[in-house]
Amino acid sequence: MLAAGASAYIGAGATAAGAQAPLSEGAPFDPSGVRARAELLSQSPYSPPPAQTGPAAALDYDGFRKIQHRRDRAYWTDNGSLVRLDYFPTGYIFHEPVELYEVVAGRARAIRFNADDFEAPPELAAALHSISGISGFRLQSPLNRADKFDEVAVFQGASYFRSLGRGQFYGLSSRGVSLGTGEKEEFPDFRAFWIERPAPGSTETVVHALLDGPSLTGAYRFRIAPGLPTVIDVQASLFPRRTIANGGVAPQSSMFLFGAYDRKGVDDFRAQVHDSDGLEIRTVEGGRVWRPLTHPAKAQVSTFATQRLQGFGLCQRARGFDDYSDLEAHYDRRPSLWVEPMGDWGPGAVHLLEMPARDEGDDNIACFWRPAEAWRPGREVKIGYRLSWGDGPAPDGLGWVVATRSGEAMNSKDRQFVVDFRDVPPDATGVRAQVKASAGTVGPASITPFPDRADVRAGFRFTPPASGPADLELRLVGDSGDLSEAWWFRWI
């Protein structure tokens, strides 16, 4: 059954009929009721949800994975839908239960935990029957083959969710919101979901969610359309409980352990190990930045101010198998995640957090957009954006970075950098490379075309400063202006 206290928690403080009635089981479902509930909750002190206890809470990762939802007990197998729904139990690190509803014919119907929906080995029977609730859910659809249902999206843990495109493997993840990332971080939770049952023959799913945390509440709508890319349109209304100057929109979490230019101390048969190899940013005015990721010895934050953001995201540009030579992890098939604002977000900055990682199981990279103006109590924050899980944004006419390499310069403690660009306009005149550094010194940059393909290599020598980091910038320009995106690199 549903975890005791979960309904009381979601309804805590929700005494207004307009907020309560549209979300009651069996009543007509109205998305405005989720917004009303979020607004009402924001006017009361935060009350944490109950947590899973007992044998299931003590399970490790491997034990928790052995408790599997039965395929023959998935939802929506009876109406010709091209989407399947099943759910995850509480346990392991997922202690807080969520309320889960399916919306059928305009009415909400509760999905309650049922041990009969799961299979587990005999030694885990006690853990299975100690489970008290639902920790999240997943959607499946014929993403890669018409006769096979593959995972398309998973919502589980705090406000985390992840997806992938056709032919890809899971990699980076997203969240509903970030608060204090890189500082003292707070993790609000999705506390309830209402999932609209797709029409027969449809692969699109609409999910509504209620967010709650110590500092804010929120109402979300996700429209999920599988493909390459898989597209998730997000509409959110946030209601702060306090003034929030460190909020983050469309946050992403990823992993970067080492790359072709960052192998110091690496003893690994693979050439690279990462879910993402860089951050791309585009502005409405036409600016474009590629920032290769690094694995620092201590946490560092980089910010990129924008007046009118066109898009940003953590991308995986190295797509060849030989870039990794990993037959199990398939890093060459990890998705990029591109964020496109719906409407003008106004001035703000994209923040990139890079942290040390013990191994490839650690998500040590995060990025998000932070508005210049703080969020304040009593003022609803509306925001919309599109998430594309695929191969990254389409080309826009500028050359783009396909490889970064670095090594010790001959007979010197200087560093030699080479950066390869693709799709530089072939008829450009006066092509030259511009390079500069915030600290240390850089030598003149050279340009060499590849003899067997239409790529261009720019190289330069860098003398690092005696101490501290340095930000390097390189771009290709011609008589008509910029010919490439700007390559920005943090030397540490």
pLDDT digits (tens, 9 = 90+) for 26-54: 778 999 999 999 999 999 999 998 887 88
- Name the residue among 109, 171, 176, 101 with its Cα closest to residue 389: 171
pLDDT value of residue 429: 84
Residue 313 in 3-state DSSP?
strand
In sign, the C-alpha dihedral spanning 258, 262, 266, 271 is: positive
Question: What average pLDDT does this structure show over 424-448?
Answer: 91
Percent of the chain with pLDDT over 70: 95
Q: Which domains does the chain have, with CATH numbers?
A: 6-245 (2.70.98.10), 250-373 (no CATH), 400-491 (2.60.40.10)
pLDDT value of residue 49: 86
What is the four-CA torsion angle of 123, 129, 130, 134, rounded to 10 degrees?
120
Lookup: tokens for 465: 């400063």
Question: What average pLDDT does this structure show over 262-269?
Answer: 88
pLDDT by residue (tens digit) across 216-227? Answer: 999 999 999 999
Question: pLDDT category, 23, cuts 50, 70, 90?
Answer: low
Amino acid at 216: L
pLDDT by residue (tens digit) across 289-314? Answer: 999 999 999 999 999 999 999 999 99
Question: What average pLDDT does this structure show over 428-433?
Answer: 87
Question: What average pLDDT does this structure show over 17-27?
Answer: 54
> In the predicted model, is pLDDT for residue 451 greater than 90?
no
Please tell me what DSSP assigns to residue 197.
Answer: P
> In the predicted model, is pLDDT for residue 10 greater than 60?
no
Question: What average pLDDT does this structure show over 464-476?
Answer: 94
Question: What average pLDDT does this structure show over 327-343?
Answer: 97
pLDDT value of residue 54: 83
pLDDT value of residue 24: 62
pLDDT by residue (tens digit) across 100-150? Answer: 999 999 999 999 999 999 999 999 999 999 998 999 999 999 999 999 999
Question: What average pLDDT does this structure show over 457-466?
Answer: 95
> In the predicted model, is pLDDT for residue 173 greater than 60?
yes
Percent of the chain with pLDDT over 90: 83
Q: Whole-number mean pLDDT of the chain?
A: 92
* E-state strands within 125-202: 134-145, 148-156, 160-163, 173-175, 178-179, 189-196
Question: pLDDT category, 263, cuts 50, 70, 90?
Answer: confident
